[in-house]
Amino acid sequence: MIEGTVLLVGCGNMGSALLKGWFARGLNPVDIMIVEPAGRESVAAASEHPALVVLSDVSELPTDFTPDVVVFAVKPQNAKDVIPAYAHMAESGTVFLSIIAGLPLAKLEALLGANSALVRAMPNTPASIGQGISVLCPGSQAGPSQKRVCKVLMAAVGQTAWIENEADMDAVTAVSGSGPAYVFLLVETLAEAGVKAGLSPELSEQLALATVSGAGALLASSNSSCAQLRKVVTSPGGTTAAALDVLMASNGMSDLMNGAVAAAAKRSRELAG
């Protein structure tokens, strides 16, 4: 159950996913306002919730509106133009929850004021089906109840975890933020390899997709570790062992993944400036 008033700034892909999750967790439409330039028609949930207020611009907000939480879900390139208009809400105990990738707490603080209560979060795309994972990092002024409400809001779209050291956000971005793309690539490359091994493209794609999603579901529902589940599939001298000899050789999957995660973390640091 989500309690309190929420102002969602930006209702695109991730904002919509959050909104869907909040309604599923019992957030009352009268306790939420949305600022989204594309207007009410662009917000899918608005037709199901007539009481939901969608404004096209921050200037339309009632001057005395002081939400418990402002959630920033705009694109990084819009952040510095959008965020300062909400700075006055800091005085009323509002906590600002930003999911804007690559925007550090120090830059948020520069836009909102030194005394503003901030929480930075990094969700990932499975949030759109309620199966994401969001990592949250509190600013120095965020109190326990403000952190709790931010966690509850992010938990509406999946699992949550906290970090205390914001520098870890670059590695988080590289693992869970960008990670869904690595899994999609795994399906693509597995399907391509199946075609090279003689299967039709249709069957190979079906096999690769069902295998990756089925293995993920098995892993999520099992008490065994990844390594244990892998060993269960691997008979000594068998077909899986032959494939794993290739994947686990030097310059194999481990080296590739280390390189990929290091490159993403480096890029995250560069984008944060």
Ligand X SMILES: NC(=O)c1ccc[n+]([C@@H]2O[C@H](COP(=O)([O-])OP(=O)(O)OC[C@H]3O[C@@H](n4cnc5c(N)ncnc54)[C@H](OP(=O)(O)O)[C@@H]3O)[C@@H](O)[C@H]2O)c1
* Smallest separation (angstroms) from ligand X to the CB of 238: 38
Can you state the angle between helices 13-24 and 144-155, rounded to 10 degrees?
100
* Closest approach of ligand X to the CB of residue 108, in Å: 12
For residues 209 and 183, give the distance between their C-alpha atoms in angstroms, rounded to a whole number: 10
132 vs 194, which CB is nearer to ligand X?
132
- Residue 36 sits at φ, ψ, to 5 deg, of -150, 115
**Given the complex with ligand X, which of 9 and 272 has the nearer CB atom?**
9
Give the nearest residue (CB) to ligand X: 12
Q: Which residues pair with 119 in a beta bridge?
A: 97, 138
Query: CA geometry: angle at 45 spanning 44 and 47, to 5°?
Result: 85
Question: Cβ of residue 9: shortest distance to ligand X, in angstroms?
Answer: 5
Output 40 or 230, the one with its CB closest to ligand X.
Answer: 40
Alpha-helix residue ranges (DSSP H) falling in 25-157: 44-48, 79-82, 105-112, 144-155
Spatial separation of the C-alpha atoms in residues 258 and 179, rounded to whole Å: 12
Q: How far is the CB of 147 from ligand X (least distance, A)?
A: 19
Work out how close the CB of 173 gets to ligand X at its nearest, in angstroms, rounded to a whole number: 8
When the beta carbons of 41 and 48 are compared against ligand X, the nearer one is: 41
Binding site for ligand X (CB under 6 A): 9-15, 35-38, 73-76, 78, 82, 99-101, 122-125, 177
Question: In angstroms, rounded to a whole number, what is the distance separating the alpha carbons of residues 243 and 264?
Answer: 27
Nearer to ligand X, 11 or 105 (CB): 11
